[in-house]
Amino acid sequence: MTQKEVLDELKAIVVERLRFDPRRAADMTLDTTLPKGVEGSLGLDSLDFIELSVAMEDRFGITVEEGQDLSQEFHSFDSLSRYILGKMGPS
Amino acid sequence: MTKPRIVVSGLGVVSPYGAGTKTFWAGLAAGTCAIRPITLIDTEGFRSRVAAEVPADVMAALGVSARRARADRLGLAAAREALADAGLGPDDRAEAALVIGAVGGGMLEGEAWYWEETRTGRPSPRITALRSILPYTHAETLGWRLGLGGPKETVVMACASGAASISLAADLVRDGVVPVALAGGVDALTRICFMGFNALKLLDPEPCRPFDRDRKGMSIGEAAAFLVLEEADRCRARGGRALAELLGAGVSTDAHHVTSPAPDGEGMVRAMRQALIDARVGAGDVHYVNAHGTGTLQNDRTEALALAKVFGSWSVPVSSTKSLVGHTMAAAGSLEAVATVLALQHGLIPPTANLASVDPEIPFDCVPITARPAPLEIAVTNSFGFGGQNVSLLFGR
């Protein structure tokens, strides 16, 4: 998968699972930041991140470690999609 | 020391008629019954299959993200309207108290999560559905989104919650804890509420008929309604408008039974008398009673008994707006407070819909079918919840 393809999948997840407006998802890019409290971010809270993680595991066939601090990885769609691609390994 | 006067300086509503106080009043004044076939939950095989839902197109146009629980969406839209109606800016909001009557919370979404787990036998990943499941989360959401910086309270008093929130907020203002408060109730339709009342055989299969001799129970509704309360001099000084005055409030508990009211209406009588004493108003000065009026056999009969003890039979017009918009649970007390304020403002008594022949045990003019013009100066609104939790609010023009 390319990073662009991973981004499109993530955008589909935030619409289907986190109930974001599809029109808003259309404006999301790799630079879009995620966590609540970051100016201009999607404002995701801890429950959103859990639901997002479960959806990522289903969609990309990866396992998200529960014991690690992944706040850097979940900072933006750019860092998150790199994390996912790293987990998936070379295709 | 003279008691500070508490005025209502802003109103906000999302009701089964739609968004906004004007829409709400237009529906009440026209006597339009908003109780229709239910769409939100599956009711196959149920005793009743009608409710007063907020229509889908109204929900979509509220300007609140669909990521939020349905009840929070109703609450945010109604609260925004009330604050704007009062003209409260950021500085006023920063010191305003928030008091919310709540029962169902985000249970509608929580139920969907639970059903998915139960039916699939697998843990549901939709954990965000549980974010707003507890009643106090409305206050979290509204306080944060609207910049309300004063004390934040949640009142859970069954069907009297919305009215109790107004009484508590008035106390906070009257005691000088805060200069201004936003108070009201929120409830969205939920399966547990609908199915619970259905199982108790307390739902009318048809739209409810309060006070009718053939009434068969209540109809469930959903809504949010908020009032801005502030001290009268402060309201005037900042250029606000006093829409009505909260003259008095009475709160009592039957201490009798988990669901049934005390059969002699003793707790209801105490709540109404307390409100009259608090307001220093005589029973004969009250021009209209917006009844709790659920449409159940027991409530209407007991409430009529209590009303007769306080006001005397055939003494004052009594109507139930639940016949128009259903029983909106935790929102009902505040929605009916708004209805009462609007009735005073417009000099028009909202009718009791669906009322064909009045129960002979209800010795009151129940204003059937059609709204009635009347010079109204003082009106009472009653909220009597399960567990014998009674609140009476007394408003003046």
What single-letter amino acid sits at B341?
V
> What's residue B95's pLDDT?
96
Helix axes B161-174, B332-346, angle to 10 degrees: 70
Nearest CA in chain B to A17: B126
Residue A90 pLDDT > 80, yes or no? Answer: no
**Residue numbers of B annotated as active site:** 159, 292, 327
Element (H, E) at A7: helix A3-16
CB contact under 8 A, A21 and B126: no
Instruction: Tell me the chain B residues in contact with residue A21 when contact means C-beta distances shorter than 8 Å.
Output: 65-66
Residue B1 pLDDT > 70, yes or no? Answer: no
The whole model's pTM is what?
Answer: 0.93
Q: Does A65 touch chain B (CB under 8 A)?
A: no
Per residue in A6-42, pLDDT (tens digit) is 999 999 999 999 999 999 999 999 999 999 999 999 9
CB contact under 8 A, A51 and B127: yes
The whole-angstrom distance between B55's CA and the closest CA on chain A is 19
- Residue B100 pairs in a beta bridge with B154, B184
Per residue in B221-271, pLDDT (tens digit) is 999 999 999 999 999 999 999 999 999 999 999 999 988 899 999 999 999
CB contact under 8 A, A47 and B67: no
Kindly state the average pLDDT of the residues B270-299: 97
Tokens of A84: 């996912």
For B266, phi and psi rounded to 5 degrees? -60, -45
Q: What is the ipTM of this complex?
A: 0.73
The whole-angstrom distance between A2's CA and the closest CA on chain B is 26
Tokens of B229: 């309360």
Element (H, E) at B299: helix B297-311
